[in-house]
Structure 1
Amino acid sequence: MTTDEPRTDPTRRAGVRQVAERAGVALSSVSRVLSGHPDVSELMRHRVLDAVAALGYEPDHLAQSLRRGASMTVGYVVGDISNPLTAQIALGAETALRRAGYSLLLVNSTSDPDLDAQHIRLLRQRRTDGLLLAMADERHAATIAELERYPGPCVLVDRVCAKLPRASGVHSDHRAGLSAAVEHLYRLGHRHIALVNGDPRVLPARERAAVLRRFARGVPDLEVTVRPGGFTAAHGRDATAALLAGGAGRPTAVIAGGNQILPGVLAAVRAAGLTVPTDLSLVTCDQVALVEFLRPPLATVTRDLGDLGEVAAALLLERLSGRARRRVTLPTGFRADHSCAPPPKRPT
C-alpha cells in the first residue's frame, strides 16, 4: 500500500523550516504569518496555517524568549492558594497579563516565609520577567535578600516593605472599611468590641488592629480586644471560644479579620450556644462565595479583589515598559446587615 503523504516521525517536533517546505514558501513568510503581520496575502496565510495544522507545529517559546531576552512570564508568590481571595486576585492579574501577552506562574508558600524566599530564587532562576508578591512576612530577611537579587521589577500585593524602595505596590485601604464597621457597632451601643485578627506580619492584620485601637483611644467608654494569629479557621475558633468564655465580661460584638478566620468564629459561636445577632453582633472582612446565603446576612467590610489583581498587573507592566514605580491604594467599604444589632441588656 502506498500513499502520497510523506511519513513523519511522531516523536520528532516539526520546526519552522518543515512548515515552510510543506507550504512551499520562504521561512520569512512563515514568520510573518505566525506573528500576525498585516502584509500577508490570504492565500499565503491559508497555505502556512494548513501546513502548521498538518504538521502539528508548535512554537518553541523557550527559543523565542532567548532571542528576545524576555520569557513573557510573570511569577506570583502567594501565601495560600486555597484561599478564595487569592484566587480572585490572581484571576484579575492573570486576565490583565494575558491581554498583554504574558503568562502567570503561580507558586504557593503555605504562609511560610522561608518558602517565599525559595520561590523567589526559583523564579529568578527561571528568568521570569517580573514578580507579583504577597509575602507571608514583610520583614523576613531572607525574602528581602532574594528580592534584592531579583533583576526584574516586582509589585507588592497588599503588602508594604520599606526595605524594598524599588518595588511598586498596590494595597487596600483597610482602615476606611473597618473604621466604618467599628463606628456602626459603636452607634448601635456596643462598648466591648473584639477583633479576631490575622498575622500582624502582614499589612491587612496590622491595619485592622490599628483601627480598633485608635478608635478606642478616642472613645473613653469603649473597650477593645485584639486576638492575633494565623489566617485560619482553627485560630478563629480558638480565639473566639476564649473570648466567649469571659462570661459577663465577654465582648458584645466580634469582627472576623479574614474570610478564612470566619468559619472558626461561626463554629465557636454555635458551640457556645449563642445566636447572631441576638446574643452577639458579627462583622466579617471580605465577601466570599456562599456568605450571602448565611442567615442572618453578615455585615461585611468590602473591597474589589479582582481590581486589586488587575492593578497589580498594570503596575508591573508599567515597570516592564520602563516607567517609574508607583504605589496605589484602593478603597474599601462597609455593608451593614442583619448580623449587627444593639447589644443584649445584661443584669446590673
Structure 2
Amino acid sequence: MCPKRSTPSRRPVRVSLVLALLLAAPTLRAGDLGYEVTFGTRRGVHFQVSAGTTSRILYDSGPSTQPAGDWDTLLIQGVIPDSSVRFMAARTAPAPVWIELAIKRFPNGRFWAKGLFPKGTGGLRLRVVNDGVKVDHEVTLYSVEVFADGPEVTTPQSAPARGPIDPDASSPTVHGRAEWRALPPRNPLSPDPLPWRITLHHTDGRYTASLAQSLEETRFIQDFHQNGRKWSDIAYHYLVDPLGNIIEGRPLGTLGAHTLNNNEGNVGIVLLGEYHPPKNDQPTAAQLEAVISLGRFLVKRFGIDPASLKGHRDYKKTDCPGDLAYPKLDELRRAFEHPPAPPAVKKRAPLKPSIPAAPDWDGQLARKKAANPSATR
C-alpha cells in the first residue's frame, strides 16, 4: 500500500532534497542501459489523464518481468505535460516497499525520474499518482530500466587492419556543442583518438520535428546522462534527427559511453526517436542520408572498415536501435563502402539559331566567279 502523502507545503521540499542528494551521488560506470523493464508484453507506458480527475492512482503497472540480475537503481524518462503527477515504485520481492521517485522536469514536459533501492533481485511495480492534475494530457514513459552500480569491465581489443587514413577528409555539416549550449563534461574525458568501429543506437525518446526541438532534446539527453546516470557527458558522439540534421555530442576522439564494455574505439551514432513498438517511429530518407554522409567521413578519416558498423543489440540484449532501424544496417554498410558516383555530365544539344541565318552572299559570289571568271562585282 502506498504511504500517506505528505502535505503539499512539505512535499516539494522533500522531493527537492531527494533530487539534490541523487545529483550529488558518486559517478557511476560509463556504459549503457541496465535491464529494460517491461510490464507483461508492454514496453514503455502511454496513457491518458483527464483534468480534474479524482482518482488518486492514475496508473498502476502491476508486476514487471523479472530483471536478469541484481539492481539498486531505477531510472525512467518520458513526457509529462502537467507537472502535477508523482511517481511511486516498489520492488515486488520479497515484499513491496514503496518509495517516491525524485523527478527532474523540463519546461517542454520532458522528464527523468530516479529511485534508489537496497541492492537485490525482484521485479518492479510502478504507480503514477494524482497530485492535482490541471489539464488533459498523455503521460509517456519512453523507457523504464533498473541497474546496479558497478565498474565498467573493458576487455582490451585489438583494432582490425585499417584502410587508408585521410586526415583531410571533409566532414558533413555538424551542429556543434555550442549551438545546443552543452555543459562541460563533469570529469575529464578519456582520449580515444583512433576509432575503428561504429555503433548505431536510437534515443528511445522524442521524435523531433525541427532543429530547435532536436537541440532541445540533445540538452535533455545530456542532463539525463550527466545527472541521472552520473556519466561525465552525453554518451554518443553524434545525434541525427529525422530532418537529417547532425548534432555533435561527446567530442570525437574521446571515449564514448554508449555500449557497455565495448566503448573502446567505438563511435556512437544515435537516431533521435523511438524506432520500435509501440511507438514505431520511421527512419526518414534525410536521416539515413545524413548517417551515410557521416559514416563515409569516418571511414575515410580513420580507415574504418564499413563492416564494423553494428547495432547496439549486436553487443547486448536490448531492442536498440529498434526493429525499424536495425534492418537498415546492411544498406548503411554498403553505402559507407561506396562513395557517391560523380554526377553524370549531360551532353548539350546543339543550339538552334533564334533567327534565320543571313544569306551566304560571299559564298554565292565565289561560286559565280568560278563559273564565269570574267565576271566582276
Q: TM-score, normalised by structure 2?
A: 0.23
Report the structure, 1 or 2, having the larger helix content: 1
Report which of the two structures shows the higher radius of gyration computed on alpha carbons. 2
Report the structure, 1 or 2, having the larger strand content: 2
Q: TM-score, normalised by structure 1?
A: 0.24
